[in-house]
Chains A and B, each alone.
Chain A
Amino acid sequence: MLGSRTSSLFSLMLPLVLLVVSVSAGCGGGSGEESGFRVALLTPGSIADGGWNAGAYSGLLRIRDELGARVSHVETRTPAEFEESFRDYASRGYDLIFGHGFEYQDAAARVGAEFPSSVFVTTSGNTVRANVVPMVFELEQATYLCGVLAARMSRSGRLGLIGGIDLPSIRSTFLAFKGGAQAARAGVEVREVFIGNFDDTAAAREAALALLEEDVDFVLHQANEAGRGVFQAVAERVEKGERVYAFGTNRNQNDMAPEAVIASATLNIPAAFVEVARRVKQGRFEARPLRLGMASDIVRLEMNERLQGRIPSEVAEELVRLGEQIRKGELVVPRGAF
């Protein structure tokens, strides 16, 4: 008495048990080992985000098409799910499993120890094991060149940086930008602002206007979607006849404000995935961070053709020369330790 609702306890179990029985009866030989190169991808969010996760997914599709691999994808939201999915793929014999974010490191290291024949690659991170490595995008190489370009062309000698959230990876690209600027022109001043998120366009615009108010004439953003606000602010000033410029980042954003964006530091995420998969497939895997930059053409500095004429020819030549040195490894740009 006193409330007794216990029968629901049994009643919940019974249909479940019945289903399990019926399913296990039907799937005895379903999951046999299959041959061929198999690649899986874990993303921390929806692949329909038009950005970070979408890039990884299109990389996965290119791996399927270009390398003839069998591919699978899963969206995982919590650390518990990371491990579960890594384990599931590894136990089913996947050759290469991507975890698309730093947060996958711990889970990859744990599961990697149990499945030595699978390779686990996390996008960024610093955990390295025999079969676990991070892939590190050297966007710094391109932002270094942005710094050089800005310092050479700036009239005021003041440059601006606008970040979303203060993350090590973002600080690192800023560090490279500053390095390039200082190398090109001693005494150049670089001011940086973090708006605290990646989607507040209005805040990014305010921050950019504030910098422009302080005579900054080149602004590079690392604020993802919020970066739109930076372009708006710069474009407004350009319309008033001022000679101010913005840089696009991560992808080619030259078209987003054709009169304001002078160049974009781009990162070809799909190409990076294909590159990594190719190395693993060809047995060229090494247990150290996979640095992917200008040498493999994954990171580039893409000029806005409309504004290209404004760049003095000696500066343009310098950029080409520096780019070549970076590709050959003769010039190592500064980057953050993370």
Chain B
Amino acid sequence: MTGWWPRGLARRHVVERFASDTLRAAGAVLFASLIAGVVIAALGFSPVEAIRALLAGSLIGPAALTATLLKTGPLLLTGLAVALCFRCGVWNIGAEGQLYAGALLATLVATRWLVGAPAVLVLPCLILAGALGGALWAAIAGALRVMRGVNEVISTILLNFVAIQLVSLAVHGPLQESAGAYPQSDALAQAARLPELARIHLGIPIAVLLALAGSFLLFHTAAGFRMRAVGLSPVAARFAGIVPERQLLLTICLAGALAGLAGAFEVSGVTGRLFESLSPGYGYTAIAVALLARLHPLAVVPSAFFFGVLEAGGGAMQREAGVPAVATDLVKGIVILLSIGFAAGVGGVRRVGPVARAPTSLSGPQADGEVL
């Protein structure tokens, strides 16, 4: 009844909404291209050439598609993490930190604890470690919220910095490569590398499956139902026998696990080592990914792909059209802004969970007696 075809809703509505959403999306992309083109032209480059380079470098040919998909993977997982949290009314801005925490624990397992172990042992352990690392990191913010009423926006943002510094500390200290030369971890053994096909590592299909699973969770299970109820109205949820604090903790840990997986996949599937600058801010772009997808786990897949195109195409714009990095960042920013505007225009007014209402209405146990 959910997911693909809204039962009980006239088909006509769906077709109309689809048509109008598509038009808006197309409009947003075209408008963004126009503005970006003007900016590029103002900087003295050919806008046609630049946008051609952007699309050619991200979509045309196997190498370009691979580059895009490699960026889609982490954006998909972190975008999923953000979408789930927002659905439950939890403002998790900490996917970046959770990604780093996952990468850290996965690297620890792969380069310190299970060195020389066969792939059947080390890969599952590494993946679990990534999820666990992210979940534990997110749980800190969740626990602070539930037990002390600390606003999770603040705590997750601050925990991002802590996680990034922790990784920095680790690659300069306990996890630094045995050669001791550079701030990076030892290279992961081949057994600890995710299997890949034409450089598309296993983490990417797993991420897509997890988006399906996330959609199933949200719309077809009791747990997801409770999460959404809490996100829309924590007070009503409590009167319905749902404990909002429990849902909050559950959701943020789940989200942390997804973001942590993204970190583990980066280390095991792409870089083969832990570095300081593992992520170019995937966890922050994830917020835009989730909003553009209007917090629907399935829509996060194309949304993440779209942002993957931007990330990969940005590099191509520099390489082929000679547009400097600052300008490509500017273009990316314009497109992100416009696409979020699109998402708000379509879904924000009606409801995009916490976009319309502050999740702070979910009072902690210490607030004003027990309820409300």
Contact = CB atoms under 8 A, between A and B. Distances in A.
B57 A12 contact: no
Interface of B: 1-9, 14, 17-18, 21-22, 24-26, 29-30, 52, 55-57, 59-60, 63, 66-67, 70-71, 172, 179-184, 187, 218-219, 228, 266, 270-273, 275, 277-280, 292-296, 298-299, 301-303, 305-306, 309, 312, 315-316, 318-320, 322, 324-326, 346-347
Contacts of B325: 46-47, 74-75
Contacts of A76: 315
A79 to B, nearest CB: 4
A89 B59 contact: no
Interface string A63-86: 000000000111111111101110
Contact of B346 (A8, A16, A88): A8
A207 to B, nearest CB: 19
B113 to A, nearest CB: 22
A6 B322 contact: no
Given A16-B309, A80-B266, A8 B299 contact: yes
Tell me which of A16, A77, A80, A88 has the highest count of chain B C-beta atoms within 10 A of its own C-beta. A80
Nearest to B319: A74
Contacts, number: 183
B3 A4 contact: yes
Given A13-B302, A75-B318, A4 B278 contact: no
A81 to B, nearest CB: 6
A125 B347 CA distance: 50
Contact of A74 (B18, B21, B315): B315
A65 B56 CA distance: 29
Interface string A294-306: 0000000000000
A80 to B, nearest CB: 5
Nearest to A81: B315
Contacts of B70: 80, 84
A75 B14 CA distance: 43
Interface stretch (A20-28, A232-240, A274-282, A326-334): A20-28
Interface in A74-124: 74-81, 83-85, 87-89, 91, 102-103, 106
A80 B180 CA distance: 23
A186 interface: no
Nearest to A12: B302
Nearest to A20: B59
B169 to A, nearest CB: 11
12 contacts: A3-B228, A4-B3, A8-B294, A10-B21, A11-B21, A11-B24, A30-B56, A72-B322, A77-B277, A84-B315, A106-B187, A125-B182
Given A40-B319, A81-B315, A15 B26 contact: yes
A173 to B, nearest CB: 14
A88 B319 contact: yes
A106 B303 contact: no
A84 B57 CA distance: 10
Contacts of A2: 1-2, 6, 219
B271 A80 contact: yes
Given A5-B299, A9-B301, A27 B22 contact: no
A23 B60 contact: yes
A8 B3 contact: no
Contacts of B219: 2-3
B192 to A, nearest CB: 14
B310 to A, nearest CB: 11
A74 B271 contact: no
Most B Cβ at <10 Å: residue of A19, A126, A338: A19
Contacts of B316: 88
Given A81-B280, A84-B312, A9 B275 contact: no
A140 to B, nearest CB: 15
Given A9-B301, A47-B324, A103-B275, 14 more contacts: A4-B5, A8-B294, A11-B18, A12-B306, A14-B22, A15-B22, A16-B302, A30-B56, A72-B319, A72-B322, A78-B278, A80-B70, A88-B316, A106-B273
A9 B184 contact: no
Contacts of B275: 78-79, 103
B242 to A, nearest CB: 16
A126 B299 contact: no
B60 to A, nearest CB: 5
Contact of B25 (A4, A11, A88): A11
Contacts of A106: 187, 271-273
Contacts of B71: 80
B3 A6 contact: yes
Interface string A11-52: 111111011100110110011000000001000101110000
Nearest to B270: A80
A24 B60 contact: yes
Nearest to B6: A4
B318 A73 contact: yes
A129 to B, nearest CB: 15
A168 interface: yes
A114 B82 CA distance: 38
A44 B183 CA distance: 14
Contacts of B66: 84
B50 to A, nearest CB: 12
A1 B60 contact: no
A161 B309 CA distance: 47
Contacts of A6: 3-4, 296, 298-299
Contacts of B309: 16
Contacts of B319: 40, 72-74, 85, 88-89
B181 A126 contact: yes
Contacts of A89: 319
Contacts of B17: 7
A175 to B, nearest CB: 14
B230 to A, nearest CB: 14
Contact of B9 (A1, A8, A9, A10): A1
Nearest to B51: A23
Given A24-B60, A106-B272, A16 B1 contact: no
Contacts of A165: 172
Contacts of A75: 318, 324-325
Contact of B22 (A1, A10, A46, A338): A10
B273 A15 contact: no
Contacts of A47: 324-325
